[in-house]
Structure formats: structure tokens, C-alpha cells
Amino acid sequence: MTGATRLNIGLGLALVAALGVAVTLGETAFSAGQYAEALSDPASGPGEVLWLVRAPRAVCALLVGAALGLAGAVMQGLLRNPLAEPGVLGVSATSALAAATAIVLGLAAIPGAVESAALFGAAVGGGLLIALAARVRAPEALILFGVALSSFAGALTALIFNLSPSPIASAEVMNWLLGSVENRSWVDVAWVAPALLIAALLARAAAPGLRMLTLGEEAARASGLSMGRMRVLALAAASLAAGAAVAVAGVIGFVGLAAPHLVRAAVRGDPGRLLAPSALAGGLMLVLADLMARMLPTDQELKLGVFTALVGAPLFALIAWRAAREWRL
């Protein structure tokens, strides 16, 4: 068994354990009898709490985290840059802009409208990036374009707040932008799961090209692999994954940046083999983060996006400190 396989199995087992804990623990403490009731009769009171409230929420956290971890790993490989993350190319921002627009227009009541809008926004952002990447190859140019796209979409989102006639709609958008998997149902799981699956397949097809890109653009172009095809696959995978995450949970930072770094050393830096463990690590991070966010004794439940940034930023500084020695940044 290779090191990467062992890592994936280990992360998978940790994920199952984390899901178990996330379904078991909650604000309402149950007795042993109530747990037994929940397991034997899912329609009972405790059963509904476990299977219709906690379970879909935990699975949503898992899928959103996995999507962010995957998108981050693809971005870092494509841009050959350990600082890249799903947000850096502006796809999260265009996705959030489209979702915010849908909310302000009062479409949130229509099931799936905000989710569809977020995916549409991601598709527009991703499409622009793919069109640009067909013309310029320098990763720096792509990053600069992404920064511009991100700023522009962010400015338009701010404009929505600015011009919004109703403070209630503004608050709703704000609340959504902070990022959360609170009150998510199996319907949300059904939204994010297929998108993540397609993104994973696209990313997998891009993996050999991402690995080849380790040698730099010039050597990779003459290697025999199609770098143009790889770029389209990678950008489509990252955009779809980032869009799916935003569609279900709003904007959640740091997971996409940090997850690849947690597992990079274990796959010896290989950007192709990094994809699966980075997705698993992202899922694990978000399940645990959501568990902690809802278990903390605060009056108002901490928003997941706020929590990941609060915990993630110092943690990431630590990872960066250690990794800097590892790959001599």
C-alpha cells in the first residue's frame, strides 16, 4: 500500500468517526435510552433530531469542506503557488455575488433558487478564467485577473448592500455571506454532492497534468501531455467545487487554503496525489469546526465562516511557519 493510500484510508476513518461524534453530540443532551430510540425509530423525537437535523448538517459540513479542500489543492497545483485558494481567482466572489443578488430579489423563498444562482455565478467566473487561460499561460497573469474579478464582484456585492431598499434583505445577505451550515437539510446535501462528484472527476483527469506542471510551464508544454486541456479541466473542477460550497454554505475561508498544506508533506508534494487527501482533510476540518462552533456556549451560535477564520488564521500561521522550513519558501 502506498503512503497516499494509507493517508486516504486514515483520513476516511477519521471522517467517519468525526461524523459519528457530530451526530451524537448537540445542544440537547440525550440519555442512553433516547439514543436507542433514535437508532431503532428514526421517526421518533430524538430520531428526528439526529437524522433530520444533526446528520444532514454534519454531512453538509463534510461535503462543503471537501469541495473547498479539493478546489484549494487544484488551485495551488495549477498556479504552482502555495498561497492559492478557491477565493484567489474570484470564483467564490462571483458565486457569492450571484447568490446575494438572488436573496435581495426575494428569490430565497423559492427552493434551490439561491443555490442555482451561486452555481451560475461560479460558472460565469470560471468561464471567464477559462477563456483567459486559453490566451495567457503565465500563472501570475491568471492570479492578477482573478484578483480583479474578485474585487469587482466584491464591489458589486457591497453595492447591493449600499442600494438595498430593505435593511431586512441586507441582513439576510450578510447573514448568508458569513457562511454557515446551520439548518441544512438532505436537500442541501443533494445539491452539493453531485457537483462535488463531477468536480472530483474533472480534477482527477487533470491530475497528471498538474503533476507535470511541477517542472514549470515550458517543460510541461513539451512533455507530451496537453496543458491546454489540463487547464480547462482544472479550472472547471475548482470553479464547480468552489461554487457548490458557496451555494450551500455561503463564504467559508481558510479551509481551501489550509487543507492542502495539512497533507502535502504526506504525499511528498505531488500535486496530483494531493487532491483526494486534501478533499478529505477539508471535510474533516469543517465537520470538526462546525461541531465546535455549535458546542461553544455562546448566546448567538457562531457562524461557521467566522469560526473557521478565527481558528484557521492562527493555525495557518503555524502551518506556514513549519512548512516554510519544509519547502524553503
Partner 1 sequence: MSGLLELENAHARLGGVEILKGASFVVRPGEVVALCGPNGAGKSTAVRAALGLTPLTQGTARLGDHEARRLSERQRGERAAYLPQDRSIAWNLPAVEVAALGAPFLTGEAALERARAALDEVGVGHLVDRGVADMSGGERARVLLARALTVPAPLLVADEPIAGLDPDAQLLVLERLRARADAGRGVLVSLHDLSLAARFADRVVVLDQGRTTAEGAPTEALSPSILKTVFNLDAVWLEALDGPWLAARRLSPHG
* Binding footprint of partner 1 on the chain (CB under 8 A): 80, 208, 211-216, 218-219, 221-227, 264, 268-271, 326-328
12 versus 269: smaller Cβ distance to partner 1: 269
187 versus 324: smaller Cβ distance to partner 1: 324
Nearest-5° angle of CA 50, CA 55, CA 58? 135
**Radius of gyration of the chain measured on its C-alpha atoms:** 20
- Among candidates 59, 63, 149, 159, which has minimal Cα distance to 104? 159
3-state DSSP assignment of residue 223: coil
Question: How near is the Cβ of 155 to partner 1 at its closest, in Å?
Answer: 32
- Among candidates 199, 200, 228, which has minimal Cα distance to 213? 228
211 versus 294: smaller Cβ distance to partner 1: 211
Question: How near is the Cβ of 274 to partner 1 at its closest, in Å?
Answer: 9
> Using CA atoms, how far apart are residues 189 and 67, in angstroms rounded to an integer?
12
N- to C-terminal Cα separation, the chain? 31
Alpha-helical (H) ranges within 25-112 are: 32-40, 45-48, 55-79, 91-104
Cell matching residue 244: 457548490
Question: How near is the Cβ of 319 to partner 1 at its closest, in Å?
Answer: 15
Cell matching residue 264: 502535502
34 versus 214: smaller Cβ distance to partner 1: 214
Residues 6 or more apart in contact with residue 269 via CB below 8 angstroms: 214, 327
Residues 6 or more apart in contact with residue 250 via CB below 8 angstroms: 96, 99, 176, 177, 178, 179, 180, 305
Cell matching residue 265: 508533506
- Among candidates 217, 259, 225, 326, which has minimal Cα distance to 62? 259
172 versus 270: smaller Cβ distance to partner 1: 270
202 versus 274: smaller Cβ distance to partner 1: 274
Question: How near is the Cβ of 227 to partner 1 at its closest, in Å?
Answer: 7
User: Which helix (H) or strand (E) covers residue 144, if one does?
Assistant: helix 139-163
Question: How near is the Cβ of 149 to partner 1 at its closest, in Å?
Answer: 24
> Using CA atoms, how far apart are residues 275 and 7, in angstroms rounded to an integer?
12
Instruction: Report phi then psi at 113, rounded to 5.
Output: -65, -45
Cell matching residue 140: 501570475
Question: How near is the Cβ of 4 to partner 1 at its closest, in Å?
Answer: 12
